[in-house]
Structure 1
């Protein structure tokens, strides 16, 4: 069974992720293209550095070629944002990125984009998923890659220069050149090294890379740029006195920032900094879009600017849809993805890295100084989070347990409201009655990994941790069998 989640299709290599399943899924996509008469627009296929990614991309190209659909196959592994942009550039019917993003090394998957670079919406993936699962291997039409290349129905192309030019068109390179910033970057053995390296070198940054070589095992951990995984990057920044450290995840669509002191800057705080910079320093106007798991300080900052903050469900496809609908300036999520108006309709860790460096160069301030400035506008809220291994029965048991917890009046603070729009989110009365929003806690099943995510935001770190521990204790249940994370 193939199932799409919030970030495309992901499965364990050799179990759900097999070349046979890749071929069936691509046949379903090819059928959709044929029904709509879009064969000449074709598809664009890219891939990351994971096990089987390049082979899966070639297998996909053989299927589309077998269905007489023009196919562009990238010449080498590439960041997902580059694949996203290239899809838009050539106006393909679909763009395909073989990646499992930040998931553990034993996973792989596929992200599918529209011709404008946006991810397919749920009703579309449901339809493709249903058709895929009805197909058998005998339904798949394919021709050998060498034959397809010789016939010209498949062509190999490279979009590195076009993508770099696109990013640099948004960035003040001259300001960065004058600043002479010292930067260390950790691409986490993923695909962010080449394109970000070109941009930073052209901006005359004094740049050092760590973990830049290809390693499909990602050093034995998930290529997710979180606090624990970036211990070495933080040490290098602090001991070698870099101005900042940057990290991108396995497919380079997520970003993490380390300040000049070696402190990990939560993406919630980074979103505040970038929204402030774009609005107040660059003079751009517009609201901000966040998902429901992202800091509500963005609401306060938008209100201070006389702008609107729009909330969406989890999944970057909803953020970009919200940005388009409201002409928003910035869209971001607490898991590390962001983009700005006019750039691609997807998250981009390469672009975000360049924008962060521009912000420091133009303002002439350290990250820690900018944080204090923005907190002076919004006040402080603190985040805590934890994950529980997810089991099949938890999807039924956990919501029931949380409802019982609330019905029994066992919340640690006065409840202001409960939302079940995406998981269960509990809002608490603010400590300060002058504040429009206070603390909240969220419990939802991941759409990309077999985990139950528990997050909280509160006026103090201790309160945020207390809320997470309270929900964790209330939700805990004995595991039974592994849950497929695709939903």
Structure 2
């Protein structure tokens, strides 16, 4: 297990804050070399991420990605507006300016925030879907400039096509390849106008993002129940993009809520350090959430969002910060029992590394379980068509259908997951923490953990391309193995690793996309000791696989 920093959960030393001027200077001054792997555009489902200080998120990256997206739109016949939003990271605004210069030069109709404010990821998804409803031509798409909960020195840029959710690899590979080609050709072919001209262009239009999203919230959450109950709510935007959304929500619906801080500062100096001493706006981390957790007794329910508000962190009174898996299980149980207009066949979406408590809940409520690989993109189709009522990841990202049973967002929405916690508290007269405690009495208590273990690039490739036959395990911590999977049962897509399950426990292993480690997720419904045994056997089995491969290669 990684060691916890002595700075974890404490205010950050001002001397350790990022130098914003140096960060912004580097954005323009440093020119990435696509021949260097770490300086290339790497466009995953969470988009391209990096820092100007490491020449991995700089002006040329954004210019080339924006041109690649303009090219993709043209080729795909996407002619509607492109909704674009930014979060509160320091690099987000300069990246927006770069993107606007390219989009204007390409004649792309862009919608920017009317007040030059910040726009959460779910709001962009909602805007795309709202615009495209009942349309089959001139469809809209969107861009969100955010590295999510990453440290203050990071930047990010992601693309959401007309279905409103994260772009799949068939799109991201095209965008990534074209962007790197532009950089390799010294930006030849990248169209660009001045920022002044971009802002004056007839294709660059101001858009009120706040009002349509806020006004529509009652269609997805029972805002009347929250108001009428008087349940007291604490909200911490963690200095992120949701900061300008909560007051309009409070004002419109008359809910008894307090925004504990409206401070926005690109150094995020108000945060407490995460487990390793770094600043991360990770609303699922007890260290990063120390401020709101410290206020747990002031409110009936409290919640926070990360910087682009696609994730949620729920503080449930005396239960403190809820483990994301626990809250997902409670949310699923509540929603499927209280949304009478949802299709009776709508399923429960979870990832292969999420808690099996969700499996037990799905069985108890008589709903189909749809288990997919890691990545919210796998829920897009189900949410869009209403065949999934809920889709959630163990990293505290989820979304669910409108009360009428139609799509709300096809990207994660931390705002509605927070408000749902208030609805649950209002309508059931108990907190989500108490609901989970009751659930464990009926369905058992899971012990869940994730650990990292070292793996070089060759070993990571072995893990990513396994077949079930290669595992060679028949027992897991004293129980016969029931399934060994390298493809997700819900959609047949490759896990990019493996999952081994027995009756009362399982583990999944998959390589990290960014570090020389692999992640082991494990869970036991017996005990902490049983969990440790599962983790040990998992590491031993994978080490044996690596040794066998090395021997074969040697």
After TM superposition, the score normalised by the length of structure 1 is 0.87
For residue 228 of structure 1, what is the aligned residue in structure 2? 287
For residue 103 of structure 1, what is the aligned residue in structure 2? 150
For residue 333 of structure 1, what is the aligned residue in structure 2? 393
Partners of 1:215 and 1:389 lie apart in 2 by 35
Find out whether 1:461 has 2:461 as its counterpart: no
Partners of 2:473 and 2:428 lie apart in 1 by 51
- What's the offset of the Cα at 1:474? 7.0
- What's the offset of the Cα at 1:447? 4.5
- What's the offset of the Cα at 1:336? 0.7
Find out whether 1:132 has 2:168 as its counterpart: no
Partners of 1:450 and 1:183 lie apart in 2 by 41
Tell which deviates more after alignment, 210-219 or 90-99: 210-219
Contact 2:330 2:436 in 1 (8 A): yes
Contact 2:466 2:497 in 1 (8 A): no
Partners of 1:404 and 1:267 lie apart in 2 by 33
For residue 145 of structure 1, what is the aligned residue in structure 2? 195
Partners of 1:476 and 1:12 lie apart in 2 by 33
- What's the offset of the Cα at 1:470? 5.1
Find out whether 1:94 has 2:159 as its counterpart: no
For residue 434 of structure 1, what is the aligned residue in structure 2? none
Partners of 1:82 and 1:174 lie apart in 2 by 21
- What's the offset of the Cα at 1:138? 1.8
- What's the offset of the Cα at 1:115? 1.9
Q: What's the CA shift string for 1:324-370, capped at 9, x where partnerless?
A: 46712111111111111221111100111111111111111223332
For residue 251 of structure 1, what is the aligned residue in structure 2? 308
Match of 1:264 among 308, 321, 324: 321
Cα separation, partners in 2 of 1:89 and 1:404, compared to 1, 3 Å = closer
Partners of 2:131 and 2:216 lie apart in 1 by 14
- What's the offset of the Cα at 1:293? 1.1
For residue 305 of structure 1, what is the aligned residue in structure 2? 365
Match of 2:502 among 429, 434, 447: 429
- What's the offset of the Cα at 1:390? 6.8
Q: What's the CA shift string for 1:55-82, capped at 9, x where partnerless?
A: 1112111101111121112221111111
For residue 77 of structure 1, what is the aligned residue in structure 2? 118
Cα separation, partners in 2 of 1:276 and 1:262, compared to 1, 3 Å = closer
Cα separation, partners in 2 of 1:440 and 1:103, compared to 1, 3 Å = same
Q: What's the CA shift string for 1:401-456, capped at 9, x where partnerless?
A: 999995488964443332223243342432xxxxxxx3111222344777633211
- What's the offset of the Cα at 1:90? 3.5
Please, which runs of 5 or more residues in structure 1 have no aligned partner?
Answer: 431-437, 478-487
For residue 54 of structure 1, what is the aligned residue in structure 2? 93
Find out whether 1:318 has 2:378 as its counterpart: yes
Find out whether 1:273 has 2:330 as its counterpart: yes
- Aligned residue pair count: 467
Match of 1:348 among 413, 433, 440: 413
For residue 362 of structure 1, what is the aligned residue in structure 2? 427
Q: Equivalent residue of 1:192, what SS?
A: helix
For residue 45 of structure 1, what is the aligned residue in structure 2? 84
Cα separation, partners in 2 of 1:128 and 1:209, compared to 1, 3 Å = same
- What's the offset of the Cα at 1:391? 5.4
Partners of 2:515 and 2:425 lie apart in 1 by 34
For residue 485 of structure 1, what is the aligned residue in structure 2? none
Partners of 1:130 and 1:410 lie apart in 2 by 44
Cα separation, partners in 2 of 1:63 and 1:16, compared to 1, 3 Å = same
Q: Equivalent residue of 1:370, what SS?
A: helix
